[in-house]
Amino acid sequence: GERLGSESWAAQRTVPGTERCVVEGDAWPRARYECAGAPVQADRPDRAASQFALLSEQIDACLAKPSWHPRTWHRNEPFEFAMGERQQTWTDLSTLPPSAVVLKLQRGLSGDGYHVQLDLVTIR
- CA 45 to mean position of chain CA atoms: 18
- At residue 94, the pLDDT reads 86
Cα within 13 Å of Cα(120), Cβ side: 18
- Structure confidence by residue, pLDDT tens digits, 67-97: 888 888 999 999 998 878 899 999 998 888 7
Can you tell me the distance from the alpha carbon of 103 to that of 23, in angstroms, rounded to the nearest whole number?
16
Can you tell me the distance from the alpha carbon of 109 to that of 73, in angstroms, rounded to the nearest whole number?
31
DSSP string, 39-52: PEETT-HHHHHHHH
Which residues of the chain have a pLDDT value below 50? none
Can you tell me the distance from the alpha carbon of 106 to that of 14, in angstroms, rounded to the nearest whole number?
19
In the chain, which residue ranges form alpha helices assigned H by DSSP?
45-63
pLDDT above 70: percentage of residues in the chain:
94
